[in-house]
Amino acid sequence: MIGILGGAFDPVHNEHIELARAAAKELKLDALLVVPTFFPPHKNVAELEFADRAEILRRVFADFPVAVTVSDEEKIYFEECGGYCYTAEILPRLKKKYGDAVYIIGGDSFAQLESWMRPRDIIECAPVAVAARGGYENPREVKKRLFEGIFKGVPHGRVKLLRFAGTDTSSMVTRARLLANLPADIPEAAARYIAERGLFSRYKPICDKLKTMITAERYKHSLSVAVTAVEINMKCKLKQDFDKTLLAGLLHDCGKNSVNGVNTAIGADGVSGANTAIGADGDWFAGRVPLDAVGTKTEHQFTGAVIAEEIFGVTDKEILNAIRTHTTGAPDMTLLQRLMYTADAVEPLRDLEFADTADLRRSVFADFEGGFRATLKYTLDSLIARGIKIYPLTADAARYYLGAE
Ligand SMILES: [Fe+2]
Ligand SMILES: [Fe+2]
């Protein structure tokens, strides 16, 4: 029996390998067929080209316990049929070429099977083996629901629940980590290939510049906020644009070293001095930073929005607004603004600073809007407890979202 493992693999991460390894052992597979998704070139939604994803898979599966073939069947399908290839269409083609097979999926995909194209055709073509995944619906319950519904009448043995239970590692968070130049949970061979080819380097110029403008600690925090924002966006299904989320997170504190309208950027040597790109007169800030914010902890959100626009060339108003309110919050914020406000407060590196950050983070992942309001309340209470003057925008945000006086 061969196993079929499909997915975008953009990029393949360790969880994919663990799932494949467990399935090969539990199902006593003779061979494994790995089938990366092909996206039409004119609307390639993947970060990596098909050829790179397939080559990375070949390298990481080179020393797998059973023989592995990385299939380009989806690419062939596109060339022949010209359209997106659904699992219900690809499985019969693979079966014809390779013989009887079992289709291996994670609990996240299994929980969504009802929304797939012709799921009954899938299960009638090949038995499905499912592994649970942390953070997703229990496959046992999903199986019960499916067999009472769309799979009614299909023998229950067509779905096998694997003993292996995976973590919630996701390709989207892995992508965000790689783009932010952070260590990611991917196989060694994948990391080597990515480094050799300079893949995932779209944000490198921005990161390199940012690094010269803020402290090393602030830079680490910025990367962490960007990745946390992507993770919240994905897990809470906020449907915010991936790049807007990542970019707003990376740049949210780019004004942190601006004081009184002049950016006192810290150079690589750690010596501070006026940023000549801005000009000592700080003209760009004139009229764009409220006077009552100058010299306060909230100043950097306003200078940050100016720097993001003038130095980093950001023109997207939603991103600039998200930077402009990330510290104080504001009434009637967009979802991206609320996301940035929250991610800034609950990113994991904050745990060292504030004892309650981990609790807040958990509440955000459980229910974003509730978690956002809890974060706002926590921030307000902590400002009051420390005797820090509440900036008017924060008071307005509290009234708007918490009904607080
Ligand atoms: Fe900030
Ligand atoms: Fe921040």
Looking up tokens 């229910």 gives 367
Cα separation, 379 vs 383, in Å, equals 6
Whether residues 129 and 268 share a domain: the answer is no
Token pair 């965000």 is at which residue? 176
Q: Measured in angstroms, how far is the CA atom of residue 302 from the centroid of ligand 1?
A: 10
Expressed in angstroms and rounded, the spacing between residue 401 Cα and the centre of ligand 1 is 20
Task: Answer yes or no: do 370 and 286 share one domain.
Answer: yes
CB contact set of 248 (below 8 Å; sequence gap of 6+) = 226, 229, 319, 322, 323, 336, 340
Does 280 lie in the same domain as 159? no
Give the ligand at the shortest distance from the Cα of 323.
Answer: 1
DSSP H helices, 126-241, are 139-148, 171-179, 188-197, 204-213, 216-235
What per-residue confidence (pLDDT) applies to 167?
A: 87
Both 259 and 140 in a single domain? no
> Is the model's pTM score more than 0.85?
yes
Ligand nearest to the CA of 250: 2
Q: Based on the domain organization, do 266 and 347 belong to the same domain?
A: yes
Examine residue 180 and state whether it is found in any structural domain, yes or no: no
Let me know whether 153 and 268 are in one domain: no
385 CA from centroid of ligand 1 (Å): 20
The CA distances from residue 60 to 15, 177, 186, 190, 312, in Å, are: 12, 19, 9, 6, 37
Q: How far is the CA of 221 from the centre of ligand 1 (A)?
A: 10
The pLDDT assigned to 259 comes to 54
- Going residue by residue through the chain (405 aa), what tens digit of pLDDT does each one get? 999 999 999 999 999 999 999 999 999 999 999 999 998 666 668 899 999 999 999 999 999 999 999 999 999 988 888 877 889 999 999 999 999 999 999 888 899 898 889 999 999 999 999 999 887 889 999 999 999 999 999 999 999 999 998 888 888 999 999 999 999 999 999 999 999 999 999 999 999 999 988 999 999 999 999 999 999 999 999 999 999 999 999 999 999 976 544 555 433 333 334 443 444 444 677 778 888 888 888 999 999 999 999 889 999 999 999 999 999 999 999 999 999 999 999 999 987 677 788 899 999 999 999 999 999 999 999 999 999 999 999 999 999 999 965
C-alpha–C-alpha distance, residues 342 and 375, integer Å: 7
Domain assignment present for residue 387? The answer is yes
Domain presence at residue 175: no
Q: Is residue 324 assigned to a domain?
A: yes
Handedness of CA 216, 173, 179, 321 (dihedral sign): negative
Clarify whether residues 146 and 212 are in a common domain. Answer: no
CATH code of residue 45: 3.40.50.620
CA of 224 to the centre of ligand 2 (A): 9
Q: Are residues 146 and 211 in the same domain?
A: no
Q: Ligand 1: distance of its center to the CA of 67 in Å?
A: 51
Between CA 304 and CA 311, with CA 310 as vertex, the angle to 5 degrees is 80
Q: Which ligand ends up closest to the CA of 255?
A: 1
Question: Residue 141 burial by CB count (10 A; 0-12/13-18/19+): exposed, middle or buried?
Answer: exposed
Structure tokens at 392: 């008017």
396 vs 358: CA distance, rounded Å: 26
Ligand approaching nearest to the C-alpha of 256? 1
Domains contained in the chain, number = 2
Q: How far apart are CA 78 and CA 38, in angstroms?
A: 8
CATH code of the domain in which 394 resides: 1.10.3210.10
Residue at a domain's end among 113, 147, 169: 169
What is the CA(231)–ligand 2 centre distance, in A? Answer: 16
Ligand 2 mean position, distance from CA 390 (Å): 18
With beta carbons less than 8 A apart as the criterion, state whether 45 and 209 touch. no
What is the distance in A from the centroid of ligand 1 to the CA of 324?
Answer: 9
- Stretch (H or E) spanning 14: helix 14-26
Residue 273 is predicted with a pLDDT of 40
- 272 & 145 share domain: no
CA of 183 to the centre of ligand 1 (A): 24
Q: pLDDT per residue over 174-233, tens digit each?
A: 999 999 999 999 999 999 999 999 999 999 999 999 998 899 999 999 999 999 999 999
Same domain, 149 and 39: yes
- pLDDT in the model for residue 340: 98
- Ion ligand 2 residue ranges (Cβ < 5 Å): 253, 344
Contact 380, 404 (CB under 8 A): yes
Give me ligand 2 centre to Cα 241, in Å: 20
Ligand (nearest to CA of 298): 1
Q: What local confidence, expressed as pLDDT, does residue 41 receive? A: 64
Q: Is residue 186 part of a domain?
A: no
Q: How far is the CA of 221 from the centre of ligand 2 (A)?
A: 7
Q: Are residues 147 and 23 in the same domain?
A: yes
336 and 385 co-located in one domain: yes
**Domain annotation covers residue 355:** yes
Does residue 154 belong to any structural domain of this protein? yes
What's the CA-to-centroid distance between 327 and ligand 1, angstroms? 5
Amino acid at 113: L
Q: Domain range for residue 237?
A: 204-402
Q: How much distance in Å is there from the Cα of 71 to the middle of ligand 1?
A: 46
pLDDT of the residue at 404: 62
